[in-house]
Structures are given as C-alpha cells and as structure tokens.
Amino acid sequence: MAFLESCNANERERFSPLDLEPGEIYFEEFAVIYYPPASSETDAINKQQRGKLKICSKSVVFEPKEAKYSLLKFPLKNVKKLGERQAKLFSKIDIQGKTFFIESNLTVKIKEKNIVSPFVYIKGVEEHIFRLVYTTVNACLSHIAQLHRASTLDKIEQASMINTIVLARQSKITFDASCLEDFHEKRLIEKQADRITPLVTTPGRVVLTDARLYFQPFSATGPGVEILCTERASLKHLYLTLKNQSERDELYENIISNAGLDMESMEQENVILKWQTGLISNYDYLLYLNRMADRSFNDLTQYPVMPWVIADHHSSKLDLNKESTFRDLAKPIGALNSERLAKLRERYDEMAEPKFLYGSHYSTPCYVLFYLSRVALEYSLCLHGGRFDQPDRMFNSIAETWYNCLHGASDFKELIPEFYDGDGEFLCNRQNINFGVRQNGRAVSDVELPPWANGPKDFIAKMRSALECDWVSRHLHLWIDLIFGYKQVGYEAEAADNVFYYLTYEGSVNVENIDDLNERNSYETQIMEFGQTPKQLFTEPHPRRYHIDNPYSMLPSPKDVRLAPFGQRSNEAASFGETSSPYSGTNSSQRKDWQTLQPILSHSLHKDCILDVHLSPDGKHIFSTSKDVHFKMYSVKEKHQARSINLSNMTLSKCIPVNDSKMVIVSSWDNSIYFYSIEYGRILDTLFAHEDAVSSLLLSGNKLISSSWDSDVKVWHYSSTMNFRLFNQDCLGSLEHDSSVYCMSAALDGSLLATGTKDGGVWLWHLYDYYLLKHHRCHQGRVNSVIISPDKTQLYTCGSDGYFKILDSYSGIETFSKKMDDEIRCCDDTPRPKSKPCHWWRRRSCGIVARSDFLLSLSLTSREQQHTMNLSS
C-alpha cells in the first residue's frame, strides 16, 4: 500500500513534517550550532549541538546531528522574544551577524532517545541560542519574525497570512533545469502546485516535459490530480493540488495528450464487465471504484473505503457457506442494528432541514489512523497533538470494534484496504511501543483476532477469501449502490437509511467560492475531521456479478501450458496444476490421462506446410491441403495415401468434406473454389469466386461462405442435392471490408458471421440481411482465427501478435487477454455441457495428424482435448 510505504519511508529520517501540526508547511532549513540554556557560556559550549534549524509555518524545529539528542520544537505562538544577540569581544558564541536567540515558554521534545513516542512538553520561559554556520542572521531571522507575527493573529487571519507568504515564495522560485534527467527534454508546462501526502502539504512547482513529470518542492488543498506510475518508476505515486481547477485541467490535458505516454485503460464499462465475468477480483474492483471516486491512499480525508463482510468474529472456524457468517451488504453499517436505527429515525423525523441520520461518517482520517495506529505512529501523533489516543479508545480487538460498529451511538465506520491485502503488519505492535494500559489492566499490544484466525497473515487471508467468496460476490453490488451508487443521495438514500450530514457530500458546497474566512475554515474543518462521501459513480442500480464456476483467475499462464512435440512422449504435456480435469461437466469415467498421450500414426504427405486438415466423421480418412498445391486424402485404416490431386497450380487454402465425405469443397489462392468428387475422382464444378486468393471457406446451413484477400466475403447458395455441374454462381451477399480477410466463423444457428482481417479487426455481420453489426479492432497485426461462442455473447480471437483474446460481442470490450510466447495460428471451440472450452495451438507446435514446420489448421472430433482453457461464465 502506498500509505504504508510512506510510513516506512518516514521512519528512515529523524525530522518529518508529521512532527508538525496537520497541514503545517515546512519552508527551509539552516545549518546551526545550538546552545541549550546554561548557567554560563562555558557550560553552554560544553552542551552545544550541531544540527539543522527547520523553519515551518507555525513553529521552528531543531534537528540535532547526533541521534542521542531529542528534536526540539518551538511553537511560534509560545515564543515571547526573538532577535539577534549582540557581539561580545571575547565571546565564542556571540559572533557579529551570526547568532540569534529564541525565548519561549514552551519547548516540545520529539523522538526522545531516537524512539517514536508521545511528545514531551516542557513549560517555562527559557532562552535558546543558535549560531548560523554558513549564512547571516538577516537571511534567517526576518523569515522567522514574519511567521511569528502571523502566529499572534487569530486562526483565520493567521492562515490567510501564511497562504500569502507561501504564494509569494512560490512565485519567486523557478524550476531548476539541472534537475532534468535529459537536457534535451522540452518543457511543455510549468505551474505552482502543492504535493499532498497524508496530513502533509508541500508547496513547490510541477513541470511537465515531453518525457517526464517533475515536482520541485521549494523546501489549503486545491483542485488535485493523482498520478499512478508503473513499478519501474522512481516515484510510484504523486498527488498534486494546483491553485484552481482551470490550472489543474490544463496540466491534466497536457499530460494525457503527451505522445510518449502509455496510459492504462480505465474505461468504466470495460472494468465492470471484467468484474462481472470474474476477470477482476472483488478487491481489485473496489479499489478501482475508489480510484474513480477520487479516493486516494495519499489523502486521509478521502482514503479508500472497503466493506465489513464478516459478522462472525467469535466462532473457532470460519464457515463461508453459512449466510449468518456475513454482514447484510444491502444495508449501511448504521442500519444493521434495528434498535439503534429506530432511535436514529426518531431523531431524524424531529430534525430541521437539512436532515441526517448519521452525524458521523464511515470513513474519516481518525478512523484510518485508528486502524493503522501501530504502523503509522508519527501520523497518529500528528493527528492527536503529539500524543497517542487513550488506550481504551484504540484499536484493540476485531470483535470489540465490530460490536461498537453495531451498537455505538456514533460509530458507523467501514474498513480500509489493508484488511484484505498484505501480511497484517498493522495488527501487530512490532516496535513494542508503549501505548498505555487499559482499564482492565492489560497493556495495549497486538490487536486481538477472532478465534478462527491463526495469526495476522491467516486473518488477512481469510478476510480476503470471504471478500472473494460466492456469497459476497452475489451481494457486493448492493453495497456499491450505497457507497458509490444510486442509493448515495436523494429518495433512494432515504429509503435505504443511508443519509449523512450534507457537508460530507461532493458538491454540497464550493469552498473556493466562499469569501468569508471563518465560514470557509468551518467547512474545511468539517471535511477534515468528519469525513467525505465518495463521488457518486452510478445513478442506476449496479449490475450484479455473474455466477462463476471457474473464474479466469484460475486459468494457466502460457508458461504453465507446455505442448509436447509431435511423435515424442512427454510428461510435461499441458499441465493444470492440481486441477483434476480441464473442463467442468466432464464425467470422471470419461477422463483420460493426458500425461500418457501418444500419437497413433505419423505420415509425411506434403512437401510444404499444411494449411488445412480434416478428419472424416467416420474416422477413416484424413483430408488435407497444402502450399505444395496438392489436395490429399489419407487412409487411416490402411495407413497410406489414398488420393493426391493437383487441383490448381497455386496453393490450396481450405477444404470442407461434405455429403458423408463423398465430395470436398476446396479453395485456392488462384481466386477459385473447386467442388471435387471423391466418389468419381474428378472436379464437378469450379466457382471463380474472388479477385484475389480465397483465404477461408465455411458452410452454414444452406450457405457456402468464402473470404478473400480482396477484402470481400461472399455468400453463395448451397444444397447437398444440387447439380454441381450447374452450380448457381449468383452471390446472395457481399460483405466488404477495409483489408484482406483471413478467417471467419459462423454462429451455430447461422444468424451471425464473424470475420478477421489483416489489420487486426474483427467484424460481426448479420447473416440473414447481410449488414454490419459491429467492428472491433483487437489485434496488432493479422487475425489468424475468430470464433463466435455458442451463446453469441463472446468472440474468441487469436492473432499474429501472439495474443489470445475474448471480446464481448456487442461492445467489443476485451474481457480476457493472454500473451503467448509464440504466434497463435488457430483455435477451436467445441461446445460441451456447462462449459465453453477453447483450444489454441502455437506457431512452433507440430501437427496433430500431419507433420509440418508449424500448424495452420486443425480438426476436432474427440469430446476431450489436451490444450484447453475453460471459459465458463
């Protein structure tokens, strides 16, 4: 998680902006020698400490170089005097233009003994002396004095003055060109911006070049943009806020228009369909919705929200098959307890407008740090004014927390992503921090887990299993309706008992348009302390997830599927791990041990690569076409070539046995289709079909369909009883494409035709009226094979780019994609009960019934195949 990564990163440095107040800004630092209060100059020199003085908007912090000393913070509101010390002739401390003092009635010790612990507050007026090492007093003291004057104002005026100081400093600073990794980079845009991390704002400048995005700090929150980078990036997350929405939009438009940018597709319809079909887990889909709703790990006020799904935290065994194990996802947390809800409704009915059921929220900065208090120590200290929360109010037990969420008068919190991912580190007090002792006499230590969890890792694993289980998958859309959907606001929210305070909703008030500083501060405090409802993503009921027997996430990767060379027995044939069968719905008595699969015959028929091969229905003959321009028939029983015909002087691309294998229809690269009689041994008729090579043939009912490199597909009338000497050459339909057509497939009922083209396009046609339904671009390069699923909802494709893909027929949304090591030349779909297995063969794999350099065609008659992927949905 990005947030936990930042926690670990902060632990490597002594000073952290989290040592300041939430939202306080760190400006700059100076190398100094610090002289603690002492009885004499000699004593002060003996106690001197070298280090850095950090100038911040509401305080000054001294960071000693030696870790044995505490950091010292001087809140500017507690500073009584500050100024330059007069030079003394024989003094080793008071040097002209180098030394100044800060007189304060409060000194705060931080990280005493270099341990993250509650701050120590020392009251009493003391004078602290600092001698600057490299610069003069004028360069440092004037800035501190300006901020000190701001601290004497009331809260609103102080914020206004600090903001003015920040803007003035930002306007004077330009981007340092030496920071560019390549001096040939062209700057596209440069803006003032604030980098946002939890509880910390860092002003600076953001620069976009034609190659990279830079942020330069010059060491509130406005319209923001969050950037998520790849694992290879030096910075994986960057959250920026700019002065106003127009500047934010300008930066965003420049980023996405950059030609060198490769952005991940996040189209909502695409992701929803992938989630529905099981290609995306429930956890990943919820993270996606949070991201689309502007929730970020870098913003505690809008931290990603996850649902409680388990209601049983007392059993010794977690049973995911019992409905009572789960929380009702159709109701918000506040509505799960009917007695509490009745009292809240009674108050709601008597309340003046704007009404609300819940005065607190399900996601706030305090709730996030409540869960993460054991790992986000400095964040907790920052939020609670340098102290940890009261021991009895901390996150001590899963069962207690769930009980409070059900029965507490103002406790309606949901969970955070860390409960479903990671190793559960946030549940443990690994650093043995002293959080105090509870009223029952027990010290705050690790979080008490339910009896069914054998440690933090097991707890997270079982929580994730529950989130992904069938019951939750069937009901998760109901919770999405509450948090991100149509039950978030309006009448539906009231009917679902899902009404929160109006200021928690996006758009209820525009802070930028509020001129009154007190009113604006009030709204910002409300948002900071009481939470924000996610941006509404759906105004209609969210679709439910399909029931998935065998989700795609269980499919083998290309590296796990090994295809044994023809003629060699292999114990490394296609493996599916511990899966007992490649398909669902296959009777165990029918299953075969594919590890012992061996070829029953091998015979060299052709002198060049085979383009098409078919096994006759009775299994007695094999028909094949090849680049060697011959059509051949092989007798399986007699194990020799039965027929070899030179139908054309050019390559024969396809063959279709018809009439109980008494006749074969053959297509050729000479633009023609031949009707050859096996029974009489002669060509019955020739159809001059296209203006370029005929690439594919298929029969669909009474229609013969041919495709060609001339970018055309033609439909001809076909009847098994017709006189082929008088073949009707009238074309029933012509389907024009933009590039050469290489493959096609018809729906089982003959209503649809799918075609694949040289430019990577898949075309879907209506075969009754011959009009185009859809055109999808899905491959980089030629489409080698396309198949329409039995229910016509999906298209299976493979291409020269090495990808096997599944598309939604109507939308063209890619619901599955698998990159193979080699080019995929063909695939086949054989309907089976309760499943949709698809078989694929790679370029360097050898043939099933004919040897060749690479397989270009296949024919399946068995009801079981070796190299399959179950596409059940």
The reported pLDDT for the residue numbered 96 is 84
What torsion, rounded to 10 degrees, do the Cα atoms 159, 161, 164, 165 define? -100
Whole-angstrom distance between the N-terminal and C-terminal Cα of the chain? 31
Give the pLDDT mean for 438-449: 94
The reported pLDDT for the residue numbered 548 is 53
Domain spanning 173-257, CATH class: mainly beta
Give the pLDDT mean for 381-404: 91
Per the rule left: phi > 0, alpha: psi between -120 and 50, beta: everything else, 216 is beta
Strand 703-708 versus strand 712-717 pairing type: antiparallel
**Is-contact 102 82, C-beta < 8 A?**
yes
Q: What is the distance between the alpha carbons of residues 308 and 329, in angstroms, rounded to a whole number?
A: 8
Angle between helix 282-292 and helix 470-483 axes, rounded to 10 deg:
10
pLDDT tens string 667-706: 999 999 999 888 888 888 888 889 999 999 998 888 899 9
Cβ-proximal residues to 470 (8 Å cutoff; 6+ apart), any chain? 547
pLDDT tens string 589-612: 334 444 454 555 666 667 777 788
Say whether pLDDT at 757 is over 90.
Answer: yes
Give the pLDDT mean for 522-539: 79
Give the model's confidence band at 867: pLDDT under 50 very low, under 70 low, under 90 confident, else very high. very low
**Is-contact 52 32, C-beta < 8 A?**
yes
Say whether pLDDT at 557 is over 50.
Answer: no
Question: What does pTM read for this prediction?
Answer: 0.59
CA distances from 700 to 152, 631, 740, 747, 768 (A): 87, 23, 21, 8, 11
Q: Locate tokens 């083998």: which residue?
A: 556
Strand 71-75 versus strand 49-56 pairing type: unpaired
Asked: is 2-171 a CATH 3.40.50.1220 domain? The reply is: no
- Ordered by start, the domain boundaries in the chain are 2-171, 173-257, 282-530, 552-599+737-870
Give the model's confidence band at 550: pLDDT under 50 very low, under 70 low, under 90 confident, else very high. very low
CA distances from 553 to 252, 269, 288, 793, 802 (A): 34, 20, 17, 20, 20
pLDDT tens string 153-203: 988 888 888 888 888 877 777 777 766 777 678 888 888 787 777 777 777
* Least confident among 27-36, 572-581, 795-804: 572-581
The reported pLDDT for the residue numbered 458 is 96
Give the pLDDT mean for 750-773: 92
Give the pLDDT mean for 620-630: 85
DSSP states along 765-828? EETTTTEEEEEEE--SS-EEEEEE-TTSSEEEEEETTSEEEEEETTT--EEEEEE-SS-EEEEE
The reported pLDDT for the residue numbered 232 is 55
Say whether pLDDT at 720 is over 90.
Answer: no
Beta bridge partners of 103: 81, 127
Q: What is the distance between the alpha carbons of residues 489 and 428, in angstroms, rounded to a whole number?
A: 38
* Least confident among 400-414, 538-552, 854-868: 854-868
Angle between helix 282-292 and helix 456-468 axes, rounded to 10 deg:
80
How many percent of the chain have pLDDT more than 70? 77
Q: How many CB atoms lie within 10 A of CB 337?
A: 16
pLDDT tens string 297-334: 888 888 999 999 999 999 999 999 999 999 999 999 99
552-599+737-870: which CATH architecture? Answer: Beta Barrel (2.40)
* Least confident among 273-277, 423-427, 474-478, 725-729: 725-729
How many percent of the chain have pLDDT more than 90? 37
The reported pLDDT for the residue numbered 258 is 65
Mean pLDDT across the chain, nearest whole number? 79
Token pair of 43, please?
């004593």
Going edge to edge, which strands form the sheet with 794-799? 783-788, 794-799, 803-808, 814-819
Q: What is the distance between the alpha carbons of residues 136 and 97, in angstroms, rounded to a whole number?
A: 5
pLDDT tens string 67-98: 889 999 999 999 999 999 888 877 888 888 88
Beta bridge partners of 837: 870
Going edge to edge, which strands form the sheet with 652-658? 652-658, 663-668, 672-677, 682-688
Domain spanning 282-530, CATH class: mainly alpha
Q: Which of 182-186, 259-263, 625-629 has the highest mean pLDDT?
A: 625-629
The reported pLDDT for the residue numbered 551 is 39
| 173-257 shares the fold of 2-171 | yes
The reported pLDDT for the residue numbered 162 is 87
Give the pLDDT mean for 21-45: 88
Say whether pLDDT at 233 is over 70.
Answer: no
